[in-house]
Copies of this chain bind each other. A is one copy, B any other.
Amino acid sequence: MSKTKDRVTIYEVAAAAGVSLATVSRVINNHKNVTPATRKKVEEAIERLDYRPSGLAQALATSKSTNIGVVIPRANYVYISNMLNGLTEAARDRGYMLSIFVTSHNKEEAEAAMNRVITSHVDGAIIFDDELDVGDLQHISSYKVPVIAINNKITADKVGCITFGYENLFRQILNRYFEEGDKKMYFLHVHNAGRLLARIERSFVTTHIEAGRSYAILSSDDSYTKTYVDFLEFFKTTKSGYFLAYRDSLAAAIANAARDSGLRIPEDVEILSIIGTKYANILRPTLSSMFIDMQLVGRKAMQMLSDLMDDKLIQKHHKIESTFVKRDTTMF
């Protein structure tokens, strides 16, 4: 049988060191009131037995798990992994581990994830899933789980949030283009790409309507190859336009298709990548893009959560502005 030796417990250490388990506990928690001599005895026993305390038992006894739950959508976008990176580093610096929960962009799964977060007994949660509403988040925080919501404007008792400043800048870009540019604008609609995109799409529509401009929504798959092929077809008949794509790879698909169709960028075809990453600068033509430093978002979220858990988060809502970087795919 694969019965390896059972986990060494604090009792065995106590026995080996000839003290009580209480003393061992004091040693591993660096409590004062332990004679150097006994401390040494205990430490040697620990070393000898290769003892590691059980985080589980500690968590149960102290009701602190040093675990942070992170809920993210399943899509493996570069910007999400950037955020995860900021999160992991900030968490590590504070001595927390991260438990990852993935969801799709749908409400049921998001709520199921919530339940798993609750039962998993985390000390706090960072939730990047805009399918959840105030009720859901209040619900989880009623379990004494402080929450930072990302991309979801919600504040409540133990709930803080980080939102992205996209729409203002986006409108500005459009309005400026209405004045100085001359091409018709096309928005790439991606099904189920989350509420952020949906909100931007709405901005796109209303800004056009307010300006009395015509526009078009193009339905797209969230895949480079498919989009590339579609646009090769598209550019057979349409020879110019200003295209707004959700992410770099989609924007690149349009750029590549345009070039391969003999169109000039940005003279004939202009493209804006809405959620830019570092690839916007690596791809050729370099992509004009809107940008948010997701690594920063991750770090900030962890910092806010940390404050929230200590009951000293004053600014419960933090807004991170996006920036616009003009590169080769737009005129301005």
Interface residues of A (CB under 8 A from B): 2, 4-7, 50, 52-57, 59-60, 65, 67, 74, 76, 78, 80-82, 84-85, 88-89, 92, 97-102, 115-116, 118-121, 141-144, 157-158, 224-225, 249, 252-253, 256, 259, 278-279, 281-284, 295, 311
Contacts and interface: CB of A to CB of B under 8 A. Distances in A.
B53 A119 contact: yes
A239 to B, nearest CB: 21
Contact of A81 (B5, B56, B78, B253): B78
A213 B225 CA distance: 40
A251 B259 CA distance: 22
Contact of A144 (B7, B59, B74, B249): B7
A76 B101 CA distance: 19
A311 B2 CA distance: 8
Contact of A2 (B5, B142, B158, B282): B158
Nearest to A75: B85
B158 A4 contact: yes
19 contacts: A2-B157, A4-B144, A4-B158, A5-B142, A6-B144, A54-B60, A56-B59, A56-B65, A76-B84, A76-B295, A78-B78, A80-B81, A84-B100, A98-B99, A224-B278, A224-B281, A249-B279, A253-B282, A283-B283
Given A279-B279, A284-B256, A97 B116 contact: yes
Contacts of A249: 278-279, 282
B142 A56 contact: no
A52 B143 contact: yes
A60 B56 contact: yes
A4 B157 contact: yes
